[in-house]
Structure 1
């Protein structure tokens, strides 16, 4: 893989359990910045949601920075991130891989709040979302990438191994 431009602003998208946070931490460290988890922005500690206007406003403020790493889906506000991103990582992993990822996360955090402010919430609706992500959400994400991601280098990983290779490359380029 050859990177077209310097790594400065990275949007990471993918199903729950796909590894967005792990990859985001690595890239943020290489860039000398912090990672923003959109779940921690969108939900408070009792899982109450922000209004869409406020959520969009916060993202406009976040992407105005020269360097950032933001992980999260939120297709409704994805164009905000795409318009400023230099690189987009789309983790389009199989449902079984993502379900294993959330099982590992559950084991690691034992439920409750992660160190990044995100709460570990696994319920039947979340499992169904993960199982159907590639059929329902992935096509929508691909459409948004095609419509709004023209100025970013789009990097798609369909396996953990491919995701790790992309991350290694981005880390080297960011330093």
Structure 2
């Protein structure tokens, strides 16, 4: 596990898992939101974003969290491990709402500076429709991973805790 990609709906816990794995494995954590968004919620232009992703994926090892479907194929092609947090949408929605109140008028640690946490109808619709509109395509891509890759689809918190226990040097 040297190049780990974490994907899933907003609020699934991608960034939290990335931080936990980074601590356990001692790998660099790359939060794509921090690279994509510029101060004031300004998006990175598409051509520049492609170049950034190419550069980031060339690094020797990493844990990378984020969706960004336009660059998913690039990241999938170099990741040795893909973790798909396939959690229920109500759980994801509740986490996003909780996160909004945790970071009132401030940026999350995994976000670019001067991008205070926000909650809008568009993002809530994205989370609600994720299982219908995004999940099938992700599952299709994960069914095509090479023999050198592993795809882990976690649907429950107990599965996530089990994974962390399995790879933690402090587990029994």
Question: What runs of 5+ residues in structure 1 fail to find an aligned partner?
Answer: 1-6
Match of 1:167 in 2: 164
Preserved CA contact (<8 Å) 2:97 2:119:
no
Q: Report how far residue 117 of structure 1 moved.
A: 2.8
Task: Report the aligned-residue RMSD.
Answer: 1.7
- After superposition, the Cα gap between the structure-2 partners of 1:154 and 1:111, relative to the gap in structure 1 and judged at 3 Å, is farther
- After superposition, the Cα gap between the structure-2 partners of 1:166 and 1:74, relative to the gap in structure 1 and judged at 3 Å, is same
Match of 2:93 in 1: 99
Deviations 1:79-107 (A, max 9, x none): 11111111110011111010111122123
Relative to the length of structure 2, the TM-score reads: 0.88
Moved more, 41-50 or 128-137: 41-50
2:20 counterpart (19, 26, 35): 26
SS at match of 1:112: coil
Deviations 1:91-146 (A, max 9, x none): 11111010111122123222420123344221011011111100101111112223
SS at match of 1:103: helix
Preserved CA contact (<8 Å) 1:11 1:70:
yes
Bigger proportion of residues as helix: 1
2:137 counterpart (140, 148, 167): 140
Matches within 5 A, 1:1-150: 7-118=1-112, 119=115, 120-147=117-144, 149-150=145-146
Relative to the length of structure 1, the TM-score reads: 0.87
Matched residues, number: 166
Question: What runs of 5+ residues in structure 2 fail to find an aligned partner?
Answer: none
Preserved CA contact (<8 Å) 2:4 2:64:
yes
